[in-house]
Structure formats: C-alpha cells, structure tokens
Structure 1
C-alpha cells in the first residue's frame, strides 16, 4: 500500500538566524493555540535527485532520500496547488524504490536520475496544540546548508527559513491567521516553493534554464504567448497552441495520479487526450495535419486504453443505480451478484495492463512527440492571422458538421441505424464544444455560451448512447442468468426502463436542437 499524505505548509524567509535561536513570535493564544511545545532539534540530511536537465524541478517536483527525524526514507512531493503538495513516502533504502520511479516516469522518460543537491538542515521544532492537546500545526525553524552536486560541485550556501505545516486534517485558514504574526516578527513569505528550488537558484543556472536566481514566481513561462497578449494582438496560432499546451500539461501531470489510482484521474486524463485530439482536428488550418494526424491516432489509442476501466465502471454504476430503484418485490433472482460477476470478469488484470501501457515505449514516445510539437509547432499560414477570424470559422465549421449529421434524422424512426447516427452526432457535438473552448480567449463570453449549448446536446445524446450500451449489457446479463437457471424478469424490467429512457431522450431532442440552432447563437460569435 502506498504511503501518501497531503502536505499543506507555508515557508518564510529571514535575513538572520534569529528564528532558529528563539526569535519566533509568541503564538499561544492565537487562533485556538493553547500551547507551543518545544520538540527539540533534529538534523536532517537529504540528497535530492533529478534528471541531468532537471525535468522534475522544472515541474515543481522534488524527490529526495533523507535521513534523520521520524520519517527517514524516500520522499516524492507532487505539487497540487499553492501551499499544497502530495507526499509519497517509501522506506529508507540505497536504491530508488520502483514505484517512486514509476510516478516520475512521465517526466524522466527513461533518462537516469542523478544526485543533484545535498541539503543539511538543523531543524528546531515546535508543536502548536489546542486546549485538548491536539496538534494543529508544526512550526519549524531550519538552518539550511546546500551544495549542488551536478553537473559540477558548487560551494555551499546557507540560509534560515521557517515552515508552518498543518497537522493532518488541519484548517488551511490557520495559515492565514498566523501569517501576520510571523511577518510582524520580521519574516517574509518565501519567494520559492521549496528548499530545492532555492538551492538551485542560489548555486547556479539550470541546464538550458534561467540564470542564477531563477524565474520569480508569478511571471509567465516563456512560450505562453496567448496568456500574455491582449485579444486584439493574439494570433490564431497563439490561441490554439496555448490550449494544446494546457492539454499536454494535463496528460503529463495526471500520469502519477492515474498510477496511484486517484479518484477521477483516469477520466480526467482521458478527457485531456480527447480535447487535444479534437483541437488538432478542428484547427487543421492552424496546425499542419501531416504532423498532427499521426499524433491524433496515438492519442486515440491512449484514450482507448484509459477507457477500458472507466467505461466498465460507468456502465456498472448505471445499471446498479437502476437496479436500486426497482422495488424489492420486483427483484427476482441474484441480479446484483450477477452484475458484480459480469463486471469483475471485465476488469480482471485491466489495472495492471494500464500501468504497463504507461510504462511502455509507445506511451513515452507519444509524450516525447508532444514535447517536440510544442518546441517546433507545425504552424500553417493561417496561424499568423488575427485569432478571432480564424477561430470563429473553425467553431462554425464544427457546428455545421453537427447540423448536417443530426438534422436529417431528427424525425427518423427509432432503431439501430438511428442509434448509430445519434452516437456520431454526440461526437460531433463534443468536437464543437471543444472548438468553442479553444475560442474563449479570442471570442469571450459568446464562445463560452456556445460551448454550453454544445454541451447540452452532447449530454442528451450521451445519455441516449449510454442507454444503448446499457441495453446491450443487460441482454448479455440476461443470457448468462438464463444459462445459470436464474430468473431474468428483473433484467428484462431494467432493459425496458432503459428503452423508455432512450425514447424520452429522442422526444426531447428536436426541441433542444430548435433552441440550440437558433441563428442568434452563431451570430453572437461574430459580434
């Protein structure tokens, strides 16, 4: 089992060593703190690892082997948000544990990890406790000595810093309450998020990166053109590449969460692959399809691999919810058990298969290809034109694609052939929705509203398609139950309810489309 905890802390800097020798403010009586308990001093000896090009540090990730204190071992910290990181721990060993190596593979891509920085911290620890003696937060004053190990040894640098880390389940508001007391004592919020980041900034430039001192927090990274330009100045290439970059970042960032089986991570990663592939298809006048089509095929493969578990989970949950709605007297036979057997048969080994995909050469090659696309974008002539005119036309093209497919079957009779067309129309609606998402920086509120309309169509058609798939599964369940001599009455009842739901969605569709297809919605994109 993975040892993981969420770390919520703030770091503060001081220009002298007073904080480490008793110069911290008195906090007893502040924000429910009844007592400040001195827990003594400890020496922490840590070596931080990274690729030679510092790919982990570039994404705010730290990987260290540390001795001293009560948590000696390997620690991997993944950024979640301001002041928040997820920390995954492993017992102390000479070699990096395999599961931690896997969690950074989307960044390392097979590149070896090397010792990068050595940190020696003399830590004075105080516990902030409430009236019941419950730990609220830990206040630490660290005197740090850092030395770079690679690519060449550096002279040591030293500084003093203070950390306030919430206890597990602590209230983040406590950090805000304590901050003025700390700043009044002469401390200031740290410019950099970790000791490693400061050590790298103090001891020299990252390979191919910024000079000593690093990029200050809050400044935009190079290449994020669209975010730094006014709408009138941004080109179509700026807007599309910014969206593409965000989806690629999401895929790479979600990789560890998928490996850790974090809730909803597979779905979110799959959505990012779909958004990226959709952007390639919608904006072929901006990005050369000779480059993006092969990448899109690989993204489709990855989405399918991610969907093996996800689709089964969603389908099982849907049928289970429908079963729970059936009165007890109408539940004949072991339907719930039959559903569990059916579902389990499809998930056996799929988790291991997914991890194998993420460790495989094909997936890692895809990540390298995506990096190469950002480094040298295959821009076409339209990419240099003002964003609004190019982006608007792309959104409207995708709308027309949806309309051409959907309108001929609005009044068609129900049946398998119509089901297939409605399923394809759902995909078209999703594509138009994503195209409008890309357009928001260029077209503003009208693009947001149009995306919402496409979402309504997508969701209605999606519910219809889910019913089609559920009926296929229910028929399979009925066959299995019949072969086992079990009653199929309840399964048939569920089938009938799904059939009725699909019919209801089909009746709703013409009215929804009449509203969505009103000319003023498209005209708003041109204003």
Structure 2
C-alpha cells in the first residue's frame, strides 16, 4: 500500500553559451527509493530498464553532462590523434565529421549575436559535413544519411539568405565607391542599401527563429548520434587506404565531367549553370581530399589545394553572374520609378567583363589542376 520507488522520465534540453556552444538533448530515466524498503526494489527496477534498452548515463549529473567540453557534445568524441591507411574508413571519416560538427556548434552563439563572419563560418561547417556525407555515402546507412543531408541542406539555405545579401551589399558598395561621381546617376547607393540591407535583416530574423526552434535542436541531436555511429556498414569497417580513395576518385571524375560540360556549353544561362555545377563538384573534391590528408599526407593536400583554387575562381564567376541578375532587377525597378538606370547598366557591364576574365584565368588553372601526378595516390 505504499510507493517504494519513483521513476522520473526526463526529457533534457541543454545549451551552453561560453567560448563554444554545446547543444545537447537526451532522455534520462532516474530511479529513486522513496522509503528504506524501496532500496531493495532498485536492482530489479534497474534490470527491467536494461532489458527495455536503457544504458547507464555517462554522468550522474545533468549539469555536468551539459557542461561537457569534449568537442562540443558528450556523444561526439574526437578521432585518433594520428590516422593511417590501416585505420578503418569509419575512423578517418569520423574524425573529419567530428571536427566540423564541433565547428558548427562553436559558431552557433556567434551567429546569434551577429559576430563578423559567423554566418559564413557556420554555413561552411554545414557545407563540409553535407559534402562528406554525399561523397562517402556508401559508408552510412542510406536512410540516416539522407536525413542528415537534408538537415544540413536546410541549415545552409537558412544561413545562405542573410549571407548572400551581406556579400552582395559589400560588393556593390565597393564598386559604387570606385566610380566617378559623374557616372552615379540617380539614388543608386540608396536603392542598393535599402534593398539588400532590408533583405539581410529580414533573412537574419528568419535564421534566428530557425535556430531557436525545436526543428533545429532535434536535428542537432540526430547529427550528434550520426557522427558518433559512423561505422554503419561493412564497407566503413574496411581499411581507409583501400575503401576511401575510390570514393574520392569518383568525386574527381565528376568534377572533370562537369568542367568539360561547362566549357562546351553555349554562352548564356546554360554555361553559367554548368560552371556553377562544376564549382560544387570542386568543393566536394576539396573537402574529400582534406579528409584524406591524415592518410595520404602531401598528396591529398596538393589535390585539396588545386580543388580549392578551382572552387574560388568559379565562385567568383558565380558571384559575377548573381550580381548581373541583381543589377538587372535594380535597373527595372529604377525605370519603373522614373529614375535613370544608366549606372546599373555600367556596373552590369563591368560584372560581365569580370566573368569573362575569370573564365580565361580558370582555363589556365584547370590545365594545371588536370595533371595526372596530382591523382597518383587515388590509383594506389
């Protein structure tokens, strides 16, 4: 007729906001004897929980677990200090995923307080993680990998909107400052500021609402569990030296195909889209090669450097393309308002010329990056 044991089923959400942020979420079941006789019941109750799938908590204290400083979360542990080709593919991939998961969580508080470059850094961390899941997909459970990839894409899109407006605002402000006064016809600077600054502020509020929401916190929980359990397939348990280079080589071949397609494409939107696709492939190859540096050292680093150069040049080309689209919209709005559109056309011409110069520079860069010696380790 008396209660002997209390079972508390706790759903815990925690976030620290110091030099780095730790976002964690877990379920914890606690048993407490209410009367002396309840102590005798605890072992049987504990055994019942074990049979139901429970496991011992890593720390008896919620606060201690929440304040864990190991790489940003208790469920993400750093990989070996030194990796080699004989280590498993899972160990090598885990180390890279853990590093950039920590980077993503580190930038979370900085994004919230609008620190310089914080949105960019957090977005890059999400992009690296997503690219790694895509490139090394055979190592993961397909369903879980798809869930993680979708969540990382969403983070990238949410953060991309304020970042893109910020980049374009800085670009146009700099270009306008370099123009002679007599070529600035109409309220050009004011229109650019009003449009892009307003866009940045609105999209930043949307991003903050997302970061405060349950959807984001739930995804972070799933991401931490995914990173902690990288060895999800038989292939992931093979030696890194044999399992991973084939997947990097596949990313390399994809880049080659996309560059060839872009160089064949006719001038216009088709060519612009093709070069943008090549840039994405270069980014994926770069991150995959970075992941392989602990295993293949200088060889992997050299390919990562070449891919980074390609990514940067094609990124500048894409910025020129986006800028031309923006300027065209500004010109149309100016005409409708009875203002001169001359300056927008001038800037659009500059962007068009810059895009052409970037393509010419890229041709030389691609010739160097295509050398077979950069890829000898992929065949090994």
- Asked if these proteins are the same fold (TM beyond 0.5), I'd say yes
CA–CA separation in structure 2 for the residues paired with 1:383 and 1:469: 40
Q: Does 1:416 align with 2:269?
A: yes
Partners in 2 of 1:234 and 1:355 — Cα distance? Answer: 40
Cα distance change, pair 524–371 in 1 and its aligned pair in 2 (3 A): closer
Choose between structure 1 and 2 for higher RCO, CA contacts under 8 A separated by at least 6 residues. 2
Match of residue 158 from structure 2? 305
Counterparts of 1:318 and 1:223, CA distance in 2: 39
How far apart are 1:378 and its partner, in Å? 5.3
Q: Does the C-alpha gap of structure 1 residues 55 and 331 become closer, same or farther in structure 2, counting only changes over 3 Å? A: closer
> In the alignment, which of 113, 116, 124 is matched to residue 260 of structure 1?
113
SS at match of 1:349: helix
Please tell me whether the aligned partners of residues 327 and 348 of structure 2 are also in contact (alpha carbons under 8 angstroms).
yes
Unaligned runs of 5+ in 2: 1-9, 33-57
Q: Which has the higher strand share?
A: 1
In structure 2, which of residues 8, 14, 19 is the aligned counterpart of residue 79 of structure 1?
Answer: 19
Output one character per residue of 1:458-499: Cα deviation in whole Å (capped at 9) or x when no partner: 111111111110000001111111122222111110000001
Contact 2:331 2:345 survives alignment (8 Å): yes
Equivalent residues of 1:226, 1:234 under 8 A apart: no
RMSD, aligned CA: 3.0
Instruction: State the 1:511 CA deviation.
Output: 2.0
Structure 1: 5+ residue stretches without partners: 1-50, 62-75, 81-103, 113-150, 152-204
Distance in 1 between residues matched to 2:193 and 2:143, nearest whole Å: 45
Using the size of structure 1 for normalisation, the TM-score is 0.59
Deviations 1:272-325 (A, max 9, x none): 111111000101122222211121011101110111110001011112212222
Please list the CA deviations of residues 242-282 of structure 1 after superposition, one character each: whole Å capped at 9, or x if unmatched: 11112222222221111111111111111111111100010
Alpha-carbon distance in structure 2 between the residues aligned to 1:224 and 1:345: 41
- Over alpha carbons, which structure has the higher Rg? 1
SS of the residue 2:19 aligns to: strand
* Conserved 8 A contact 1:330-1:490: yes
Matched, 1:403 2:269: no
TM superposition shift of 1:408: 3.2
Give the distance between the partners of 2:201 and 2:282, measured in 1 at CA: 33
Q: Measured at CA, do residues 264 and 292 of structure 1 come closer, stay the same or move farther in structure 2, by a change above 3 Å?
A: same
- Taking the TM superposition and a 5 Å limit, the aligned residue runs for 1:425-464 are 425-464=278-317
Q: Is contact 1:288–1:378 with CA below 8 Å preserved after alignment? A: no
Structure 1 pair 336/524, CA: closer, same or farther in 2 (3 Å)? same
TM-score after normalising by structure 2: 0.81
Contact 1:443 1:525 in 2 (8 A): no
